[in-house]
């Protein structure tokens, strides 16, 4: 049985607890309490934990419960634990840089994972989630016939949330860390050829799509960033464009491609009241039946550019995947620079891919940035107006 005593040398010092450890040895430890009643509570708790360890009944949940019962008896707040629902909500809330569409995707992934747990989600503690829970969820995704890349996206998103919890000491082990990613077929967007871009430009002549195609071809920008570029983003003196991509919100600088510069200089001078380079495309939704993406697909059809279906929709979250789309411009810019320069860093810069430390420069090397863009080939002259 546990007992209390005081050090004879310090009769008014804190009470000491004498108790038997799980291996049968006796020990003495200071409770840090000067009040006998409080010291007795602490001492009994230590002894109870050691007894349960001897019987093999001691678990992480049981230790937390014993400690919380002790704290409540002493009039103190219990040790806090985080539910998996609360943590995923906090994790998402902290992602302030996420654009609404990405935040919505994260929320959908988290909601589906919580539903897969099979119990009232508010009752599951974050530290109770294990590898088995993750694998069961992935099995459900397979049953829904999601493609491997989509399943990997689910896994990586959950992994990021659990890794942050591990780094904060909320969990001991990341339950996703030993789960391998799915094998993904080497199926992706096909870059446009210069001749195809010339066809697009010729078909779109006289419209904002003409300039938008040239801008995307020369700079590898996404659809939303291309259609919403402003005149204020363009520096014709230094031949660069500087903007914040909608996806990352981190400012980047890219050299202006000569094909786009020629089109811009041959276009009517905009009034001071028109901030957008492509006003008929700016501010519009990219998705949807009347979205910019479908409008561009219609342009491809008029230009005689056919698309190949690479992967069919599963009727749910996985949609039809084609070899060519507006995103192919992004592959064009990166591929062209990579093939011409075999320099990964230049390829990253020309399309504005982020890198934690490298882009945090104060003085931008404009010569290198312009040189990178110059590696992207010119399109056949017949496709440029002016």
Q: Is the pLDDT of residue 56 over 50?
A: yes
State pLDDT tens for residues 145-183.
787 778 888 999 999 999 988 887 778 789 998 888 766
Q: What is the pLDDT of residue 208?
A: 95
Question: Which pTM value belongs to this model?
Answer: 0.51
24-33, 87-96, 110-119, 368-377: least confident range: 368-377
Residue of higher predicted confidence among 327 and 350: 327
Helices (H), the chain: 36-55, 60-73, 84-94, 100-116, 131-143, 148-167, 194-203, 208-219, 223-227, 258-266, 292-302, 328-341, 344-350, 366-374
Distances, alpha carbon 108 to alpha carbons 155, 222, 338, in Å: 13, 23, 36
pLDDT, residue 123, reads 72
SS3 349: helix
> Mean pLDDT over residues 223-242, rounded?
90
**Residue 52 Cα to chain centre, angstroms:** 43
How much helix, strand and coil, in percent to the nearest 5, is found in the chain? 50, 10, 45
According to the model, what pLDDT value does residue 83 have?
Answer: 87
Mean pLDDT of the chain: 80
Confidence of residue 347 (pLDDT cuts 50, 70, 90): very low
Q: What is the pLDDT of residue 247?
A: 74
pLDDT of residue 77: 60
Compute the average pLDDT of residues 266-288.
85
Q: What is the mean pLDDT of residues 76-93?
A: 81
- pLDDT bin (cut points 50, 70, 90) of residue 116 is very high
User: How far is Cα 283 from Cα 125, in angstroms, rounded to an integer?
Assistant: 43
| Whether residue 343 has pLDDT greater than 70 | no
Between 226 and 359, the higher pLDDT residue: 226
Average pLDDT over residues 301-316: 77
Four-residue CA torsion sign, 336, 341, 347, 351: negative
Predicted local distance difference test score (pLDDT) of residue 122: 58
**What tens digit of pLDDT does each residue of 16-52 get?**
999 998 888 999 999 889 999 989 988 988 888 888 8
Angle at 215 between CA 360 and CA 352, to 5 degrees: 20
What's residue 186's pLDDT? 45
Q: Around Cβ 267, how many Cβ atoms within 10 Å?
A: 14
pLDDT at 337: 46
Give the per-residue pLDDT at 5.
Answer: 94
| pLDDT exceeds cutoff 50 at 342 | no
CA distance from start to end of the chain: 96
15, 5 Cβ separation under 8 angstroms: yes
Asked if 61 and 67 touch (Cβ cutoff 8 Å), the reply is no
Largest CA distance in the chain: 101
Q: Which residue has the higher pLDDT, 221 or 357?
A: 221
């Amino acid at each position: 049985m546990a007992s209390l005593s005081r050090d004879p040398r310090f009769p008014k010092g804190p009470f000491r607890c004498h108790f038997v450890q799980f291996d049968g040895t006796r020990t003495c430890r200071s409770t840090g309490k000067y009040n006998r009643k409080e010291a007795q509570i602490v001492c009994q708790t230590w002894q109870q934990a050691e007894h349960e360890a001897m019987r093999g009944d001691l678990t992480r949940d049981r230790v937390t419960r014993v400690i919380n019962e002790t704290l409540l008896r002493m009039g103190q707040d219990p040790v806090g634990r985080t539910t998996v629902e609360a943590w995923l909500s906090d994790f998402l809330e902290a992602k302030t840089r996420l654009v609404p569409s990405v935040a919505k995707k994260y929320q959908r992934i988290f909601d589906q994972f919580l539903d897969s747990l099979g119990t009232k989600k508010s009752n599951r503690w974050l530290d109770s989630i294990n590898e088995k829970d993750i694998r069961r969820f992935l099995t459900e995704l397979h049953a829904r016939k999601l493609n491997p890349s989509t399943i990997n996206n689910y896994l990586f998103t959950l992994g990021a949330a659990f890794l942050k919890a591990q780094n904060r000491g909320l969990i001991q082990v990341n339950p996703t860390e030993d789960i391998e990613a799915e094998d993904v077929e080497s199926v992706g967007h096909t870059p446009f050829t210069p001749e195809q871009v010339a066809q697009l430009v010729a078909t779109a002549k006289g419209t904002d799509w003409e300039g938008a195609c040239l801008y995307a071809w020369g700079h590898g920008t996404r659809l939303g960033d291309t259609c919403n570029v402003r005149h204020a983003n363009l520096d014709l003196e230094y031949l660069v464009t500087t903007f914040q991509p909608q996806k990352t919100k981190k400012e980047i600088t890219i050299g202006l491609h000569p094909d786009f510069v020629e089109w811009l200089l041959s276009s009517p001078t905009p009034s001071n009241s028109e901030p957008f380079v492509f006003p008929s495309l700016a501010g519009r939704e990219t998705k949807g039946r009347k979205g910019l993406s479908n409008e561009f697909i219609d342009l491809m059809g008029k230009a005689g550019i056919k698309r190949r279906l690479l992967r069919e929709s599963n009727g749910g979250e996985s949609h039809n995947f084609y070899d060519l789309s507006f995103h192919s411009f992004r592959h064009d810019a990166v591929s062209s620079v990579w093939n011409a320069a075999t320099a990964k860093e230049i390829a990253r810069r020309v399309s504005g891919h982020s890198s934690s430390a490298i882009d945090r420069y104060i003085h931008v090397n404009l010569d290198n940035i312009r040189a990178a863009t110059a590696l992207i080939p010119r399109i056949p002259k017949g496709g440029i107006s002016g």
